[in-house]
């Protein structure tokens, strides 16, 4: 490894074919290189119409893109690098893969290749232009095609022991060690705090994974097995949504579950959008489904909706 190269440790791509969207998660160097993550978020949004949204999560940048090709608006210092093309291609043995073409000016173009070429998740790369100096650098990368799976979990603790957020995180970490699975996110969602059936703090959890398209069912089976073996409650529920964009109706249900008492019938009415599982009982299904609408809104989801409403007054 060249001493001046600080490698991105892992890159994960997920695709939502129905929506024509791809999301890229890039874990920057050593878990502390927040500056590089912030730089990418700032520049990539400015250079390419393919980038619909981008944000920094610690030393990780998360990019939401549409499939297609775009001419980059590259200007030194102001918008120095970006993503030129995103498409689905046929890889070895006919396996679908995601191809992403990055481009940048000067050192940014050079770094596009050198900082990513050894990243976990990169299957192959083709250098189209080397970059460096004042030259344009362009590199085409191939990544595994994965789908994004959000898993809502609620009501795993008893009056004397347990915590859903903690148990869920440990299960998520374990699942992330499986072949082809990446554990992307853990979100705590504050539900309606005045529900008579609540646990002490009335918080549900959402785990987010990237899995191979044919690996979703195996992941769900393993999650159910882990929950059944570990829960301390007779009311544990789980709900699963696959996709990048949260449907408006599911988001509205989450708003309802955070602001008033909702019943099991209302939760079950979401079954055309999400897969619902009564792990040990039906009551936990309400929180499991209700949490999914804020699957990755980590900072907003932890506040009670009534608290947020009071802040806006």
pLDDT digit string (tens) for 168-209? 999 999 999 999 999 999 999 999 988 777 666 789 999 999
**Domains of the chain: residue spans and CATH:** 10-144 (no CATH), 147-308 (3.30.70.2200)
- pLDDT at residue 161, rounded to an integer: 76
Distance between CA atoms of residues 130 and 114, nearest Å:
10
Categorise residue 284: left if φ over 0, alpha if ψ from -120 to 50, beta otherwise: alpha
Tokens 């949204």 correspond to what residue? 53
- pLDDT at residue 162, rounded to an integer: 74
- pLDDT at residue 174, rounded to an integer: 98
Tokens 């619902």 correspond to what residue? 276
- pLDDT at residue 313, rounded to an integer: 47
Question: What's the pTM value of the predicted model, to 2 decimals?
Answer: 0.94
**Contact in structure between 76 and 109 (CB atoms under 8 Å):** no
- Low-confidence spans in the chain with pLDDT less than 70: 1-2, 4, 159-160, 198-200, 306-313
């Amino acid at each position: 490894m060249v001493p001046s190269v600080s490698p991105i440790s892992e890159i994960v791509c997920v695709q939502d074919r129905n929506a024509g969207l791809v999301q890229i998660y890039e874990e920057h160097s050593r878990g502390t290189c927040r500056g590089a993550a912030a730089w990418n978020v700032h520049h990539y949004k400015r250079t390419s119409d393919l980038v619909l949204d981008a944000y920094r999560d610690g030393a990780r940048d998360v990019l939401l893109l549409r499939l297609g090709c775009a001419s980059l608006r590259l200007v030194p210092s102001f918008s120095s690098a970006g993503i030129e093309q995103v498409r689905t291609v046929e890889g070895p043995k006919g396996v679908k893969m995601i191809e992403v073409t990055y481009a940048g000016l000067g050192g940014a173009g050079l770094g596009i290749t050198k900082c990513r070429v050894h990243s976990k998740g990169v299957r192959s790369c083709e250098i189209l232009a080397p970059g460096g100096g004042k030259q344009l650098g362009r590199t085409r990368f191939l990544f595994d095609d994965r789908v994004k799976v959000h898993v809502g979990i609620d009501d795993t603790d008893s009056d004397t022991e347990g915590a859903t957020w903690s148990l869920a995180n440990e299960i998520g970490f374990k699942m992330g060690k499986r072949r082809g699975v990446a554990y992307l996110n853990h979100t705590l969602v504050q539900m309606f705090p005045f529900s008579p059936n609540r646990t002490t703090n009335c918080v549900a959890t959402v785990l987010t994974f990237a899995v191979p398209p044919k690996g979703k069912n195996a992941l769900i089976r393993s999650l159910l097995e882990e929950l059944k073996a570990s829960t301390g409650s007779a009311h544990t529920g789980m709900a699963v949504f696959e996709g990048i964009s949260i449907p408006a109706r599911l988001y509205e249900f989450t708003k309802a579950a955070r602001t008033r008492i909702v019943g099991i019938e209302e939760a079950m009415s979401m079954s055309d959008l999400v897969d619902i599982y009564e792990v040990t009982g039906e009551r936990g299904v309400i929180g499991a489904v209700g949490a999914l609408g804020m699957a990755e809104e980590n900072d907003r989801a932890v506040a009670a909706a009534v608290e947020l409403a009071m802040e806006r007054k």
